[in-house]
């Protein structure tokens, strides 16, 4: 029995090899269909992985509040009572916008659905060490920042209670700062100058690996290039903008671009909610709470990165669905092409079929032979399609800068679909060949 099937297989292979060009042209539909499937799955998997990487960067269940500077336009929109004009000129007062402060943090932390609150005071400055200067961000934080961003040190430690309680001038630096300023020297215990202040380095963060496009799309900073100091230390050493000085009198609240006119203590607050189902409701409550505390003035921007990414995922899923439909149509066209060519092959080989039947080939033998030929053509198309799909995915990733991930399961799936296409669309031509009357077939010219 095995020898019989091997003989049929040999005949089918010879039939395909005799007409190589026709076989390749027949398989073109499958080639492009499989290539489309490979490329589609690579783009879809790459996009999913990219979004998951973004989720890891921003954390889950986070709400981000950032300070919003008030200008003339926002002042007019904020409150009609908060604006005033003098004799119709353009000199317009801004409404009093206290900005985010440490007291806001305490109130937000009291909400039952809030798991963690991480405030930030961000100052652009220059870092100086051993004659080397580096433009950096000096960020005032609490230890909640390290927990929220899942940051750990590979040298030294993060802030201790002693550092925080006594507002000691210490700092934790990013990996890039160590690389650029210390050139292989151990930075722990060294003093680094940030602006006009000196800080003792107590730790170096593990390098956070993130694609540049991911950081840009999410509006995130490269934490590897920052220097972190305790929040209270930042307010003491770099100045607390909420403290009114004599020089500020007559300046605050006016419409000007002077940075000193800003009175907010905190530049950024990240709130982590304990459960995803409370994310939107907590964001709404917190926004209303801050607005009420700030005199009914919205002097902050609010973002919920997870919801934005979920919307991005829905858009990507729709895009993947469209690609899947296109790939399915290509495979369908390829299958129809195989059936048409196999039917034409049946009519061309009527005498061959009649001769085989007269020499003892059964109805089953003929069916198996033509099915094998159809599957072989599809398999050849599948192999070529896999190669073309991989090349296409790499080309898309390089030229369009779209992340693609080619997985083994997608290759196996595509090849399996190609073989199935040949089997399904080869059944009708095979049955057609097997039903031919051998006597009538031998009479055919």
Q: Which two tokens stand for residue 405?
A: 């991930």
User: How far does CA 199 lie from the centroid of its chain?
Assistant: 36
Contact 300, 290 (CB under 8 A): yes
Smallest CA-to-CA distance from 153 within 162, 163, 167, 143 is with 143
Contact 297, 291 (CB under 8 A): yes
d(CA 364, CA 430): 9
Residue 153 sits at φ, ψ, to 5 deg, of: -100, 145
> Which secondary structure element, helix H or strand E, spans residue 363, and what is its range?
helix 363-399
Contact 69, 262 (CB under 8 A): yes
pTM of the model: 0.60
The per-residue pLDDT string of the chain (445 residues; one tens digit each, 9 = 90 and over) reads 777 777 777 777 777 777 777 777 777 878 888 888 888 888 877 877 776 666 656 666 888 899 887 665 555 555 444 444 444 445 555 566 778 999 999 999 999 999 999 999 999 999 999 889 999 999 999 999 998 888 899 999 999 999 998 999 999 999 999 999 998 789 999 999 999 999 999 999 998 765 555 555 555 677 888 999 999 999 999 988 777 665 555 554 444 444 445 678 899 999 998 887 888 899 999 999 999 998 888 889 988 876 666 666 677 677 777 777 777 777 777 778 777 877 777 777 777 777 777 777 787 888 888 788 888 888 888 888 889 989 988 888 888 777 788 888 878 887 788 788 878 887 877 787 777 776 666 666 5
Helix axis angle for 20-58 and 363-399, nearest 10°, is 50
Delimit the domains of the chain by residue range.
2-52+311-443, 100-275
Angle at 308 between CA 304 and CA 314, to 5 degrees: 150
Show the DSSP H helices in 151-276 as ranges: 161-165, 175-182, 212-218, 231-237
Residue 46 sits at φ, ψ, to 5 deg, of: -65, -40
Contact 206, 157 (CB under 8 A): no
């Amino acid at each position: 029995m095995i020898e019989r099937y091997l003989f049929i297989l040999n005949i089918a292979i010879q039939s395909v090899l005799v007409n190589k060009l026709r076989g390749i042209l027949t398989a073109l539909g499958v080639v492009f269909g499989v290539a489309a499937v490979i490329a589609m799955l690579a783009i879809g998997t790459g996009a999913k992985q990219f979004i998951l990487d973004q989720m890891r960067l921003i954390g889950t269940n986070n709400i981000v509040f950032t300070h919003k500077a008030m200008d003339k336009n926002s002042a007019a929109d904020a409150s009609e009572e908060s604006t005033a004009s003098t004799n119709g000129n353009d000199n317009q007062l801004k409404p009093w916008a206290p900005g985010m402060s440490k007291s806001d943090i305490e109130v937000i932390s009291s909400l039952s659905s809030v798991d963690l609150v991480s405030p930030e005071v961000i100052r652009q400055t220059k870092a100086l060490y051993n004659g080397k200067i580096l433009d950096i961000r000096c960020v005032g934080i609490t230890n909640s920042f390290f927990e929220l961003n899942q940051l750990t040190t590979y040298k030294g430690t993060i802030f201790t209670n002693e550092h925080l309680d006594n507002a000691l001038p210490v700092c934790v630096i990013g990996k890039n700062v160590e690389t650029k300023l210390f050139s292989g020297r151990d930075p722990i215990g060294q003093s680094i100058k940030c602006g006009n202040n000196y800080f003792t380095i107590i730790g170096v963060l593990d390098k956070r690996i993130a694609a540049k496009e991911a950081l840009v799309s999410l509006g995130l900073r490269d934490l590897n290039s920052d220097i972190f100091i305790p929040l209270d230390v930042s307010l003491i050493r770099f100045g607390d903008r909420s403290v009114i000085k004599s020089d500020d009198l007559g300046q605050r609240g006016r419409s000007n671009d002077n940075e000193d006119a800003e009175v907010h203590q905190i530049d950024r607050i990240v709130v982590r909610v304990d459960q995803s189902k409370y994310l939107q409701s907590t964001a709404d409550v917190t926004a209303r709470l801050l607005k009420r505390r700030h005199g009914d003035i919205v002097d902050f921007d609010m973002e919920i990165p997870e919801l934005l990414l979920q919307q991005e995922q829905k858009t990507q899923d729709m895009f993947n669905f469209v690609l899947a439909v296109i790939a399915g149509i290509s495979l369908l066209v390829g299958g129809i092409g195989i059936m048409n060519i196999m039917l034409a092959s049946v009519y061309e080989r009527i005498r061959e079929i009649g001769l085989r039947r007269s020499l003892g080939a059964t109805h089953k033998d003929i069916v198996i032979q033509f099915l094998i030929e159809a599957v072989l053509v599809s398999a050849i198309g599948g192999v070529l399609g896999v190669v073309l799909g991989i090349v296409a995915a790499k080309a898309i990733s390089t030229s369009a800068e779209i992340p693609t991930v080619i997985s083994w399961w997608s290759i196996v799936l595509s090849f399996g679909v190609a073989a199935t296409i040949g089997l399904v669309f080869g059944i009708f031509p095979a049955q057609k060949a097997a039903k031919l009357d051998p006597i009538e077939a031998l009479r055919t010219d």
